[in-house]
């Protein structure tokens, strides 16, 4: 773990004795790979309550990181739960959407995230899409269709970089 990340973690810890809530979250600016989360958990007096990361069925299911978070009681919040066009054009997602009579594969991807136990944070400015995104709570993906998502090839590397602010 880099010194900057250690200092960031210590800063969260210092807030607790000052009466602040003893929880912290890891935002998308702090995308943590499994190793970095393990390192943080090793030094944290108060573990993070949430880890916000890119997570969607078409390439970024984050199995290792998800397993670690579950074992440490760290909630997952998926930003970019639609994965750009990856989800919308993935044959598994489109097939499941058709079989379930859903308007769009986006609804299936969001429902997949909920059934995986995570929060989903879709972004849209179009009223019609926002309404579609809300239409995911009164149905579920049956187990035989849900299992098909594990057949989707997953990315093996996640690039994390910093942009200097000069």
Considering the entire predicted model, what is its pTM?
Answer: 0.74
Specify the pLDDT at position 162. 44
- Name the residue with higher pLDDT: 141 or 36: 141
Q: Where are the domains of the chain?
A: 3-151
Specify the pLDDT at position 145. 96
Question: CATH number of 3-151: 2.30.31.20, 3.30.565.10, 3.40.50.10800, 3.20.20.100?
Answer: 3.20.20.100
Output the DSSP codes for the chain: --HHHHHHHHHHHHHGGGT--S-EEE-GGG---HHHHHHHHHH-SS-EEEEEEE-BTTTB--HHHHHHHHHTT-EEEEESTTTTHHHHH-HHHHHHHHHHT-S-HHHHHHHHHHHTT-EEE-----HHHHHHHHTTSS----HHHHGGGGGS---S----------
In the predicted model, what is the mean pLDDT of residues 71-95? 86
Where residue 153 falls among pLDDT bands split at 50, 70, 90?
confident
Specify the pLDDT at position 20. 52
Lowest mean pLDDT among 30-39, 79-88, 155-164: 155-164
User: pLDDT by residue (tens digit) across 110-124?
Assistant: 999 999 999 999 988
> Which of 16-25, 34-43, 104-113 has the largest mean confidence?
104-113
Whole-number percent of the chain with pLDDT over 90: 36
Specify the pLDDT at position 60. 80
């Amino acid at each position: 773990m880099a010194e900057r990340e250690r200092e960031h973690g210590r800063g969260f810890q210092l807030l607790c004795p000052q009466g602040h809530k003893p929880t912290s979250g890891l935002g998308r600016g702090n995308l943590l790979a499994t190793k970095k989360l393990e390192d943080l958990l090793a030094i944290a007096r108060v573990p993070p309550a949430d880890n916000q990361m890119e997570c969607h069925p078409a390439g970024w299911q984050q199995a290792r990181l998800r397993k670690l978070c579950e074992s440490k009681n760290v909630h997952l919040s998926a930003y970019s739960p639609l994965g750009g066009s990856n989800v919308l054009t993935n044959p598994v997602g489109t097939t499941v959407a058709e079989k379930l009579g859903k308007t769009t594969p986006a609804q299936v991807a969001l429902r997949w995230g909920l059934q995986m136990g995570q929060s989903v944070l879709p972004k849209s400015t179009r009223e019609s899409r926002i309404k579609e995104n809300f239409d995911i709570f009164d149905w579920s993906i049956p187990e035989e269709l849900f299992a098909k998502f594990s057949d989707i090839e997953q990315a093996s590397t996640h690039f994390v970089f910093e942009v200097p602010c000069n």
